Structure 1
Amino acid sequence: MAETKYTEDNIRSLDWKEHIRMRPGMYIGKLGDGSSADDGIYILLKEVIDNCIDEFVMGAGKTIEIVIKDNTVNVRDYGRGIPLGKVVDVVSKMNTGGKYDTRAFKKSVGLNGVGTKAVNALSNSFKVASIRDGQQKIAEFKAGNLVNEELEDSSKRRGTKVSFVPDETIFKKYKYRNEYVERMLKNYVYLNPGLTIVFNGEKFHSENGLKDLLEDNNNQEDFLYPIIHLKGDDIEVALTHSKTQYSEEYHSFVNGQHTTQGGTHQAAFREALVKTVREHYGKNYDASDIRKSIISAIAIKVMEPVFESQTKTKLGSTDMGGNLPTVRTYINDFIGKYLDNYLHKNQDTKDAIQRKIVQAEKERKELSGIRKLARDRAKKASLHNKKLRDCRVHLQDMKKDRRLESTLFITEGDSASGSITKSRDVNTQAVFSLRGKPLNSYGMSKKIVYENEEFNLLQAALNIEESMEDLRYNNIVIATDADVDGMHIRLLLITFFLQFFPELIKENHLYILQTPLFRVRNKKETIYCYSEEERRAAIEKLTGKAEITRFKGLGEISPDEFKHFIGDDIRLEPVMLDKAMSIDNLLKFYMGKNTPDRQEFIINNLKVELDLIDENQLQNN
């Protein structure tokens, strides 16, 4: 075999924007289309807002205005404005920014000087305007290339305005979902009391910080006792226990950054909570009994934090910075003092927590025997488990760029799972096959998860028995037919997750797979249609006589075609919780004794073609 020449011609340096555009995942995580809260288009928005937040933290500008229309994003702050001579450099030169000067930004999020450069490079058009000292400097870019620069006098209020349109060649068929944007903005105001963010005309503001976060994310009827809210110089904590939820729920933040993967601060908080409770009650309670059903939030401020990835979802720092102790010691000391004081002063809460721990201990002991049997059964089953066809990359594989794309499809029957299995991406997409309709778990105890083989294997596949932190897939996708049986299976699965793992839904891991209802094609082109409107538009677009095929089930779609619906063009509908209704009431409404209210709701809201289902079938379900 001839030796390949390796000369100076082989060495090539990419400029800053080429590198970002070639390897976007290194800078913004997964790309996505906007159906998931961690898709790249939201990271672009976050990077721009982070700069506005840093201005607010420095005491400059109490309002941020955001408008998103037709995928054009506008963000305006009233901070100090970028120094006019540096506007172009700050958004287009790597390692340029004010955040390297720790005097100016002591506890900032964006310490790496990459943020807005990534937004610029990954945008079809990007425009920045800085207003200060009676002048306005404007710079316009396309895909990171400067196309216009001008300086003019201005009487506008000082600050910075950024407008951008994410590049459609990189983010395919994307759209911003208001629910995700609003959740992001709410987190910003919870962490920055006094800040007002106006999004498309709606105002977001918080007076009570993390206490507001827990109240806004949950229905207060689900709380066992009023929220414990503790604040220090560089730390804020809010916590309660849930009446209905089995597992632990944590919202953690560092310098305003939502650390969705946790990190050293979250681990220290969990440890401190157990230590303080044991010492306060003078009993060596099991850690899992203390933390079971907890709903909590913690935010800390750290000097020059170290994160485990560019997207900053997990804190790696062990030190608080300056003359402060380690993160672990700081959090342990704070919780040890202030939570203990709170429990001494609030007897009702103290008693409620103790009752909860004793109840959790009792349930754990009742379950221990059946758990062991179930685990042994699961181990045997996993050796020849035909239900799960696993993938190679999982959510916990920190070093792999594609871990956020890891997906588990839950399918009904062999024909549908067969089509998905043959057409999936074996690196990131796994398939779990149900055997008909799963059990209705409404009102049942956790015992049923272990006694029911299907639920036990599903729990094992997701790896969420002990903790949500070990979740193996970022996206859990229910893939059922769009008919009555398919809808019923969806409802039964959502009931299972709501009953035992509601934080999977709260944290936006659960989706419904949208599959086409029609295929419209002529000799030159094929169009897949997800609605009657799309079908009509496709018929108009395709000249000549178009052939129309109606898909009545997933099993009818061949693997060759199925790959179009679970690849780059996948359409996912997120399952979201309505905070206005408690989880208990939600389950009661959908899965309790049949009521006329529910029957009417289903008939009015089920979006399925009338020729597919008749009303009698609906009323019998």
Structure 2
Amino acid sequence: MSIIQDTSYTDDNIRTLEWQEHIRHRPGMYIGKLGDGSSADDGIYILLKEIIDNSIDEFRMKSGKKIDIKIDDGKATIRDYGRGIPLGKVVDAVSKMNTGGKYDSKAFKKSVGLNGVGTKAVNALSEYFKVKSVRDGRAKIAEFSGGVITIDTQEADSTDKNGTEISFIPDTSIFSNFKFRKEYIEKMLRNYCYLNPGLKINFNGTVFFSENGLKDLLEENMEGETNYPIIHIREEDIEIAITHSDKSQSETYFTFVNGQYTTQGGTHLNAFREAYVKTIREFFNKNFDAADIRKSIIAAISINVEEPVFESQTKTKLGSNDMGPNGPTVRTFVIDFLKSRLDNFLHKNSEIAEAIQRKILISERERKELSGIQKLARDRAKKVSLHNKKLRDCRQHYNDQKAERKSESQIFITEGDSASGSITKSRDVETQAVFSLRGKPLNCYGLTKRIVYVNEEFNLLQAALDIENSLEDLRYNQVIIATDADVDGMHIRLLLITFFLQFFPDLIKNGHLFILQTPLFRVRNKKETRYCYTDEERIKALQELGKNPEITRFKGLGEISPDEFKHFIGKDIRLEPVVLGKDKTIEELLEFYMGKNTPDRQVFILENLVVEDNEIDKKEELETSENI
């Protein structure tokens, strides 16, 4: 018997990647998903955050009270006025892995970035990266491209103030069609200021500043009236603000660790929710239902810990349970603080305690009134879900901790069978689900939550998303409204947005609701096909594809074949996020979308429609549609 050796596996198969090659080859290991900027957790914002975190750490170390940020045409520049990177280590600090001052606890304590990777990842994933450090009248500059140094200047005299300035342009070969969205950046910067009272951040000429920390955060994020003045308690390493809204039906939390916004919560949030219920029960000496105690709560919690452990490189969920080698656990720390300080506060402020009790009793009564119809609706949903032809589910879900691709999970809410059929045939069955509407959903403006259970379609949609009680069980990271770009399609969008604003506003507040952008035109010749999402893209394609290219106008999603549709919901998917701005409350938005201001809304719809010149008169089409 002869043994055949495999000689194909040799020394030549062993390859050592340079530090920047490894990051560029596996960017997800360092910054999570890439994206194009349509989601708040897309890669370009992680790059921006990694640089700003370093400037924030300077402020937290009592060095530098101002940060200047400028973003223009895809280029971001961040300038702080801290101590500046030691000049002899400027290049190493941004290009040598596992190099950083945060390994030295004498220089940095309770900072966010502890792994010495963040700035290097930004460098490696940028087509242009520049660092400048100024210390005591001397400056050092270096420039890179894709992590490879292109310019390394010598130290020189400088009249600039101490600090660090970093500029970068994300690499378009990695972040295709990316766009920095002002709304996401401003939210990020506001949070930085809430957590660092006294810090001024100047972003493209707008200054962000907070004097009262988390109290300011709640005041600026409230919908409607509060039931009582905000409870604001804090010590050196923990700060908590609490109130209840008279508009929201769900629980709303803002959680932070060492200045990092932990959008997915973690140990500290779980401890807070547990401790709040326990403290309230003991104060009133009544075993209130936990759901009644926390209903409509709006709270913010910020803690500082040494060497926090996050569940991912992007640091959106706290996983660590230890305060330090000799300190209490995070859970014990939060519970003890809340039990002591909140209990004392309620004893000293009896009118607030009474307001909280009234709120609990109202929630209890509402829950009991709804309980009967909820049970019927749930039973009906369970029976229907076994044979629900309206939902084509996927295999991996956002609330499944074991799912490897849970962050990619999406559900498309479509109108009509033809559109849902095209998406269903071209989707990724692992991560993409489809929910088909029968037609225009009910206008739920001004209705109570009872309609969510009485209306079968709303009840099935709520069950599909699994958001009845909170967002914790949300089954899809991205809820995508996929409608035609015509008047009826726009109307359905507004009806669905109204539904979510009215009953599940946290879905929008937490960046989970999107509008699917689909191409309006296909321009092609014998060699090349271009899909155009705007009239400008169509004109450009006509100019570049030569004489007499074929032009197709897609008037509905159902007209796009599954073979083509797979290009529009795959890696090149274009999503427009539904974002709540700071200029209007949810109540004002609902009034605009579905109130009695028809002329203003008609103007809004017409401005957001994209139609060809030879189509029917837009005003006539709008007037013949259902009164919206």
Once residues 497 and 275 of structure 1 are traced to their aligned partners in structure 2, the CA distance between those partners, rounded to angstroms, is: 31
Correspondence 1:269 to 2:263: no
Per the TM alignment, residue 57 of structure 1 is displaced from its structure 2 partner at its CA by 0.7
Once residues 345 and 617 of structure 2 are traced to their aligned partners in structure 1, the CA distance between those partners, rounded to angstroms, is: 57
User: What is the TM-score of this pair, normalised by structure 1?
Assistant: 0.95
> Does the 8 Å contact 1:590/1:598 carry over to 2?
no
**Structure 1, residues 439-490: CA drift from partner, whole Å, max 9, x if none?**
2222222222222222222112212122212212111110001112111111
**Superposition pairs of residues 491-570 of structure 1, within 5 angstroms:** 491-570=494-573
Correspondence 1:196 to 2:215: no
Correspondence 1:472 to 2:475: yes
> Does the 8 Å contact 2:82/2:162 carry over to 1?
yes
Corresponding residue number in structure 1 for 2:175: 171
**Residues 515, 480 of structure 1: CA spacing in aligned structure 2 closer, same or farther, 3 A cutoff?**
same
Structure 2: which amino acid aligns with 1:167? D
**Superposition pairs of residues 68-147 of structure 1, within 5 angstroms:** 68-147=71-150
Corresponding residue number in structure 2 for 1:293: 296
Corresponding residue number in structure 1 for 2:622: 618
Once residues 202 and 2 of structure 1 are traced to their aligned partners in structure 2, the CA distance between those partners, rounded to angstroms, is: 71
**Residues 222, 531 of structure 1: CA spacing in aligned structure 2 closer, same or farther, 3 A cutoff?**
farther
Once residues 602 and 257 of structure 1 are traced to their aligned partners in structure 2, the CA distance between those partners, rounded to angstroms, is: 37
SS class of match (2:372): helix
Correspondence 1:209 to 2:251: no
Corresponding residue number in structure 2 for 1:237: 240
Per the TM alignment, residue 201 of structure 1 is displaced from its structure 2 partner at its CA by 1.6
Per the TM alignment, residue 320 of structure 1 is displaced from its structure 2 partner at its CA by 1.9
Per the TM alignment, residue 323 of structure 1 is displaced from its structure 2 partner at its CA by 4.4
Per the TM alignment, residue 335 of structure 1 is displaced from its structure 2 partner at its CA by 1.5
Once residues 321 and 440 of structure 1 are traced to their aligned partners in structure 2, the CA distance between those partners, rounded to angstroms, is: 53
Q: Which moved more, 1:474-483 or 1:399-408?
A: 399-408
**Residues 141, 579 of structure 1: CA spacing in aligned structure 2 closer, same or farther, 3 A cutoff?**
closer
Per the TM alignment, residue 604 of structure 1 is displaced from its structure 2 partner at its CA by 5.9
Structure 2: which amino acid aligns with 1:208? N
Once residues 137 and 256 of structure 1 are traced to their aligned partners in structure 2, the CA distance between those partners, rounded to angstroms, is: 29
Once residues 268 and 390 of structure 2 are traced to their aligned partners in structure 1, the CA distance between those partners, rounded to angstroms, is: 37
Once residues 464 and 510 of structure 2 are traced to their aligned partners in structure 1, the CA distance between those partners, rounded to angstroms, is: 18
Correspondence 1:180 to 2:184: yes
Moved segments of 4+, more than 6 Å: none
Corresponding residue number in structure 2 for 1:313: 316
**Structure 1, residues 220-278: CA drift from partner, whole Å, max 9, x if none?**
x2433332222111111112112121111111000001111100000001111111111
**Residues 435, 100 of structure 1: CA spacing in aligned structure 2 closer, same or farther, 3 A cutoff?**
same
**Residues 42, 134 of structure 1: CA spacing in aligned structure 2 closer, same or farther, 3 A cutoff?**
same
Per the TM alignment, residue 417 of structure 1 is displaced from its structure 2 partner at its CA by 0.7
SS class of match (1:176): coil
Correspondence 1:12 to 2:15: yes
SS class of match (2:519): coil
Q: Which moved more, 1:555-564 or 1:541-550?
A: 541-550
Once residues 202 and 558 of structure 1 are traced to their aligned partners in structure 2, the CA distance between those partners, rounded to angstroms, is: 46
1:406 to 391, 409, 416: 409
Correspondence 1:357 to 2:360: yes
Per the TM alignment, residue 617 of structure 1 is displaced from its structure 2 partner at its CA by 4.1
> Does the 8 Å contact 1:484/1:613 carry over to 2?
no
SS class of match (2:35): coil
**Superposition pairs of residues 331-480 of structure 1, within 5 angstroms:** 331-398=334-401, 402-480=405-483
Per the TM alignment, residue 2 of structure 1 is displaced from its structure 2 partner at its CA by 6.9
The structure with higher relative contact order (CA 8 Å, sep 6+) is 1
**Superposition pairs of residues 25-104 of structure 1, within 5 angstroms:** 25-104=28-107
**Structure 1, residues 288-319: CA drift from partner, whole Å, max 9, x if none?**
11111111111000111011111111101112
How many aligned positions are there? Answer: 619
> Does the 8 Å contact 1:65/1:77 carry over to 2?
yes
**Structure 1, residues 187-227: CA drift from partner, whole Å, max 9, x if none?**
111111111111112111111111221222334x2433332
> Does the 8 Å contact 2:521/2:554 carry over to 1?
yes
2:589 to 586, 591, 594: 586
**Structure 1, residues 425-451: CA drift from partner, whole Å, max 9, x if none?**
223222111111112222222222222
**Residues 584, 298 of structure 1: CA spacing in aligned structure 2 closer, same or farther, 3 A cutoff?**
same
**Residues 589, 126 of structure 1: CA spacing in aligned structure 2 closer, same or farther, 3 A cutoff?**
closer
Per the TM alignment, residue 120 of structure 1 is displaced from its structure 2 partner at its CA by 0.9
Structure 2: which amino acid aligns with 1:118? A
Structure 2: which amino acid aligns with 1:85? G
Structure 2: which amino acid aligns with 1:217? N
Per the TM alignment, residue 129 of structure 1 is displaced from its structure 2 partner at its CA by 1.3
SS class of match (2:153): strand
Q: Which moved more, 1:600-609 or 1:308-317?
A: 600-609
**Residues 612, 550 of structure 1: CA spacing in aligned structure 2 closer, same or farther, 3 A cutoff?**
farther
**Structure 1, residues 73-124: CA drift from partner, whole Å, max 9, x if none?**
1111111111111111111111111111122211010011110011111111
1:157 to 161, 164, 171: 161
**Residues 400, 310 of structure 1: CA spacing in aligned structure 2 closer, same or farther, 3 A cutoff?**
farther
Per the TM alignment, residue 600 of structure 1 is displaced from its structure 2 partner at its CA by 5.4
SS class of match (2:435): strand
Q: Which moved more, 1:202-211 or 1:540-549?
A: 540-549
Q: How much is the aligned-residue C-alpha RMSD, in angstroms?
A: 2.0
SS class of match (1:130): strand
Correspondence 1:257 to 2:260: yes
Q: Which moved more, 1:170-179 or 1:125-134?
A: 125-134
User: What is the TM-score of this pair, normalised by structure 2?
Assistant: 0.94
**Residues 35, 469 of structure 1: CA spacing in aligned structure 2 closer, same or farther, 3 A cutoff?**
same
> Does the 8 Å contact 1:29/1:401 carry over to 2?
no
> Does the 8 Å contact 2:514/2:575 carry over to 1?
yes
**Residues 129, 400 of structure 1: CA spacing in aligned structure 2 closer, same or farther, 3 A cutoff?**
farther
**Residues 583, 351 of structure 1: CA spacing in aligned structure 2 closer, same or farther, 3 A cutoff?**
farther
> Does the 8 Å contact 1:565/1:571 carry over to 2?
yes
1:607 to 597, 609, 615: 609
**Residues 346, 538 of structure 1: CA spacing in aligned structure 2 closer, same or farther, 3 A cutoff?**
same
Structure 2: which amino acid aligns with 1:175? K
> Does the 8 Å contact 1:71/1:176 carry over to 2?
yes
Once residues 93 and 564 of structure 1 are traced to their aligned partners in structure 2, the CA distance between those partners, rounded to angstroms, is: 38
**Residues 570, 148 of structure 1: CA spacing in aligned structure 2 closer, same or farther, 3 A cutoff?**
same
**Residues 145, 400 of structure 1: CA spacing in aligned structure 2 closer, same or farther, 3 A cutoff?**
farther
> Does the 8 Å contact 2:593/2:601 carry over to 1?
no
SS class of match (1:362): helix
> Does the 8 Å contact 2:522/2:551 carry over to 1?
yes
> Does the 8 Å contact 1:519/1:529 carry over to 2?
yes
> Does the 8 Å contact 2:193/2:199 carry over to 1?
yes
Per the TM alignment, residue 136 of structure 1 is displaced from its structure 2 partner at its CA by 1.4
Per the TM alignment, residue 596 of structure 1 is displaced from its structure 2 partner at its CA by 4.9
**Structure 1, residues 564-611: CA drift from partner, whole Å, max 9, x if none?**
22122222111122333332333233323x345545554664434373
Per the TM alignment, residue 377 of structure 1 is displaced from its structure 2 partner at its CA by 2.2
